[in-house]
Amino acid sequence: MLIAICGPAAAQQALLTTSELRHWKLTLPLDADGDGKADEISRLAGYRNPPWFTPTTEGILFRANAGGARTSGSTAYARAELRELDESGRPAAWDCLGDTRNLKLEQVVLHTTTAKPEATIGQIHDAKNDNLMFKYVGPAGANGSTDTGRIELLWNDAAQSEVLDAAYTLGQPMRVKVAVNKGAVQVTYRNLVSGLEKQVAARLDPTSIVGACFFKVGVYIQACSKLDAYGKPNAVCEKKGWDARRYDAPEAYAEVLIQRIEM
């Protein structure tokens, strides 16, 4: 279910296309070359790989599955996610506490896993930690397509958090603005259907920063299966020690539609 954005503002702004993604590289929940790691795509103009990365007339669909290929053996989760690049096409690396950066994002969470209906949908990351992220968390007994859950903001490796939207229904477009100014972060969230708007001021903790920072957007699924889609055990997932009902099937997925990105 996608609830359309109506009105002059929506009509005047072009929706996201792959040609606009020259400052991003893509990680997919696939291991096409069999090297044991998630595939990365650096040149995205004209690229498509349904259902994982699908340009449409409404934007670009990102899908990650609970049994998808992962970036390393130390993470339990798969992703269909963009990672920021600099002007020269190299991985972006800006000073978390000294630089000024801005990100504007319009997106829709369309679908989630059901056993553990959680997905990260935007991040500031460094060489090791989640400096700031916002995520969708669904209700118990989720069906994955029409649920009402919440959008959370977490920062300093999840040491601090705040709810941005306590009644977000799947299919509702949102607008998120992240303004970073020398370690001070202003996040503005707006649900474009309900009209709810919230601002949160956060500060990055110098003691939790490792290396330089960069933005990530897309869907980083927060659900996993003990046996992945390639028939291999996911030892990190199994070590979570959850109740059996919290483990999803390998094919269970989360999907996000990104309509606009500005930096």
- Domain residues of the chain, as ranges? 8-262
User: How high is the pLDDT of residue 233?
Assistant: 96
Mean pLDDT of the chain: 94
User: How high is the pLDDT of residue 260?
Assistant: 96
As a CATH number, domain 8-262 is: 2.60.120.200
Q: What's the pLDDT tens digit per position in 107-159?
A: 999 999 999 999 999 999 999 999 999 999 999 999 999 999 999 999 999 99
Is the pLDDT at 165 greater than 70? The verdict is yes
User: How high is the pLDDT of residue 3?
Assistant: 43
User: How high is the pLDDT of residue 14?
Assistant: 60
User: How high is the pLDDT of residue 101?
Assistant: 97
Q: What's the pLDDT tens digit per position in 170-184?
A: 999 999 999 999 999
Q: What's the pLDDT tens digit per position in 37-65?
A: 999 999 999 999 999 999 999 999 999 99
User: How high is the pLDDT of residue 6?
Assistant: 41
Residue type, 192: L
- The pTM of this model reads 0.94
What does the alpha-carbon distance between residue 260 and residue 247 come to, in Å, rounded to a whole number?
Answer: 32
What does the alpha-carbon distance between residue 169 and residue 144 come to, in Å, rounded to a whole number?
Answer: 11
User: How high is the pLDDT of residue 10?
Assistant: 40
Over residues 205-230, the mean pLDDT reads: 96
Q: What's the pLDDT tens digit per position in 60-110?
A: 999 999 999 999 989 999 999 999 999 999 999 999 999 999 999 999 999
User: How high is the pLDDT of residue 256?
Assistant: 98
Residue 132, by phi and psi: left (phi above 0), alpha (psi -120 to 50) or beta?
beta
Q: Are 257 and 61 in contact (CB under 8 A)?
A: yes
What does the alpha-carbon distance between residue 178 and residue 65 come to, in Å, rounded to a whole number?
Answer: 27
Q: Which three-class secondary structure state does DSSP give residue 191? A: strand
User: How high is the pLDDT of residue 8?
Assistant: 36
User: How high is the pLDDT of residue 219?
Assistant: 98
Alpha-carbon dihedral sign for residues 170, 202, 178, 55: negative
Q: Are 46 and 19 in contact (CB under 8 A)?
A: yes
